[in-house]
Amino acid sequence: MKEAGLVMLGGAGGALTRYLLQLLAVRIGLTGQIGLLTVNVSGSFALGLLLSLWLARSPYPTGLQLLLAVGFISSYTTFATLMWDSFRLAQNGSVLMALLNLFGSLAAGLGAVALGFLAGRLIGQVA
């Protein structure tokens, strides 16, 4: 249960940080998309940095990994996890799988949003 608490604590911090950064972006006159891009790119950098350090200097405490990588960064942006997985596939010689992971996730995500949107419209008309 301690592990779940660390993930939850990190997740709360990541979600709050994401929200505050997006508010800041809007306050200084940037669009929501620029705020989202900033979150996604900074989260990808942070995850790459942390995991690189952990791979080079293992073992890091499991609790720290759960708090920062699984909790904070994954809540801050799930995009970073997609980027990390794709990077590792390419790094291990599976470039085609990395590209399929990236473009397949984009296509499936866009398709799911469109289907969800259509379903919501249909449900809204029935209700």
Closest CA to 22 of 8, 49, 43, 7: 43
Task: Report the pLDDT value the prediction gives residue 127, as an integer from 0 to 100.
Answer: 64
What is the number of structural domains in the chain? 2
Higher-pLDDT residue of 102 and 22 is 102
- Residue 5 confidence (pLDDT): 95
Residue 14 in this model has a pLDDT that exceeds 90: yes
Q: What is the pLDDT of residue 22?
A: 85
Prior bond of 59 cis (ω within 30°): yes
* Domain limits for position 111: 93-127
Residue 110 has pLDDT above 90, yes or no: yes
**Is residue 62 located within the same domain as residue 118?**
no
Q: Are residues 99 and 124 in the same domain?
A: yes
